[in-house]
């Protein structure tokens, strides 16, 4: 059993009478020896949470400087591993369910409790939060171990694969003797598969770095329009070969703060996916526009689309939606996971929208450069 006498609790309540009642309830029973502190505003609560560690935070949703779940979300974000218990005067099951969805460990109605109920609720909330923290720590350790393994294996595979690619290229170029037509075709297939395997290994290496937080981002002020134009130009021949129309909207755009190398990686991955999943005579559009402090980059296709059940998982590591052919099996399901990580590390967000049979839109945001006048965008 936990040593509840060492618990440190923060009560976030602006009503003196309600706060006194809470203190009285907690002064007896299993939490009698706990340290109780109080904040009467959200600002004061956040200041306390920034300076000290608490086992639990009991917070009202209505405070002088904040109200509703905005209050709760701010407390949860600042509370770290502390259990957060909602205090409210409303006996509302729907509100209670929403509080749990937001991350509350319990929901307590003021004045509707038997003696000892509050102390038990707090004690069990702390224990549940401790278990969740332990599970998170164990999961993170497993992921770190897996990422280290993937990183090591990727490094070890790259060297022999480079040798295979080098010698296959020499043979294809006729350095070791002229090849007949059938042999050239076989070498083309071999080199293509080696290059695909190299791309998979590179994805594994980048994904392992993303998971461990070692991806380097070097932000600078970047003009988005040239990056979009470069991407469209680079994929023009591939689109034409597949019988697709690649459209680039060359609209003027404000500068963003980003790592241009990483932005290129993101655009290349998204456009490559769009071309891969769009049938002949289809259309892929690459565009961007300024909005609310960001530039939103958009890659839209008229391809097969993504099923509604699969859409929430497309950014998961190693996830691949089921397809009727082998297209989706050409990779490892890491591209979108890596793209989302790269976008988030630059202060943006990557989202997907899709309808089966109509197409898919991938869009990501990057923050505007400081001092940019949106009226001139």
Instruction: Give the pLDDT score at 210.
Output: 66
Read off the tokens for 246. Answer: 């690649």
Helix locations, the chain, DSSP H: 16-26, 42-51, 69-79, 93-102, 117-172, 181-212, 224-241, 260-276, 335-345
Q: Quick one: angle between helices 181-212 and 117-172, nearest 10?
A: 150
Rounded to whole angstroms, how far apart are CA atoms 351 and 366? Answer: 12
Under 8 Å between Cβ of 110 and 89: yes
- CB atoms closer than 10 angstroms to residue 141: 10
- Cα-to-chain-centroid distance, residue 306: 19
Q: Which of 321, 331, 253, 335 is nearest to 286 (CA)?
A: 253
Cα-Cα-Cα-Cα dihedral sign, residues 123, 128, 129, 134? positive
Note the pTM of the prediction, 2 decimals: 0.55
Print pLDDT tens along the chain (377 aa): 456 668 899 999 999 988 888 888 888 777 888 889 999 999 999 999 999 999 999 988 888 998 888 888 899 889 999 999 988 777 667 777 777 777 788 877 776 667 777 888 888 888 888 888 889 888 888 877 777 777 777 777 777 888 888 888 888 888 888 888 888 888 888 887 887 677 777 777 766 666 666 677 899 999 999 999 999 988 898 899 999 999 998 788 999 999 998 899 899 889 988 998 899 999 999 999 998 899 999 999 999 888 888 888 888 876 666 654 444 445 556 788 888 989 999 999 999 999 888 899 999 999 999 877 554 44
The half-sphere exposure of 301 on its side-chain side, counting CA atoms within 13 A, is: 24
All structural domains of the chain, each given as residue ranges with its CATH number in brackets, are: 4-136 (3.40.50.2300), 141-212 (1.10.287), 220-376 (3.30.565.10)
Rounded to whole angstroms, how far apart are CA atoms 367 and 290? Answer: 10
Under 8 Å between Cβ of 9 and 36: yes
Cβ burial of 77 (10 Å; 0-12, 13-18, 19+) is exposed
Read off the tokens for 236. Answer: 């023009």
Instruction: Give the pLDDT score at 132.
Output: 87
Instruction: Give the pLDDT score at 3.
Output: 61
Instruction: Give the pLDDT score at 319.
Output: 67
């Amino acid at each position: 059993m936990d040593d509840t006498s060492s618990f440190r609790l923060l009560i976030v309540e602006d009503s003196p009478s309600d706060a006194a009642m809470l203190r009285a309830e907690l002064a007896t029973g299993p939490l009698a020896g706990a340290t109780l502190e109080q904040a009467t505003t959200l600002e004061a609560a956040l200041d306390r949470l920034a300076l000290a560690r608490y086992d639990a935070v009991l917070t009202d949703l209505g405070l002088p400087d904040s109200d509703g779940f905005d209050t709760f979300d701010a407390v949860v974000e600042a509370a770290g591993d502390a259990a957060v218990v909602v205090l409210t005067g409303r006996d509302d099951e729907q509100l209670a369910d929403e509080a749990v969805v937001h991350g509350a460990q319990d929901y307590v109605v003021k004045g509707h409790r038997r003696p000892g109920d509050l102390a038990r609720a707090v004690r069990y909330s702390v224990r549940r939060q401790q278990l969740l923290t332990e599970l998170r720590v164990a999961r993170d350790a497993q992921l770190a171990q897996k990422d280290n393994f993937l990183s090591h294996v990727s490094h070890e595979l790259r060297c022999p694969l480079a040798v295979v690619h080098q010698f296959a290229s020499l043979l294809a170029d006729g350095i070791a003797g002229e090849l007949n037509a059938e042999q050239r075709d076989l070498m083309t297939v071999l080199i293509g598969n080696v290059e695909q395997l190299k791309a998979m290994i590179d994805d594994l290496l980048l994904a392992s770095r993303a998971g461990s937080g070692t991806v380097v981002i070097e932000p600078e002020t970047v003009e988005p329009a040239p990056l979009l134009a470069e991407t469209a130009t680079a994929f023009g021949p591939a689109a034409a070969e597949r019988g697709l129309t690649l459209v680039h909207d060359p609209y003027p755009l404000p500068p963003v703060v980003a790592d241009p190398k990483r932005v290129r990686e993101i655009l290349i991955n998204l456009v490559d996916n769009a071309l891969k999943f769009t049938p002949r005579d289809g259309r892929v559009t690459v565009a961007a526009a300024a909005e609310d402090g960001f530039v939103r980059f958009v890659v839209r296709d008229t391809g097969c689309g993504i099923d509604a059940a699969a859409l929430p998982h497309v950014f998961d590591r190693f996830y691949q939606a089921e397809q009727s052919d082998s297209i989706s099996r050409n990779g490892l399901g890491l591209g979108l996971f890596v793209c989302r990580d790269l976008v988030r590390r630059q202060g943006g967000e990557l989202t997907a929208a899709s309808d089966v049979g109509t197409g898919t839109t991938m869009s990501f945001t990057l923050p505007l450069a400081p001092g940019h006048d949106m009226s001139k965008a």
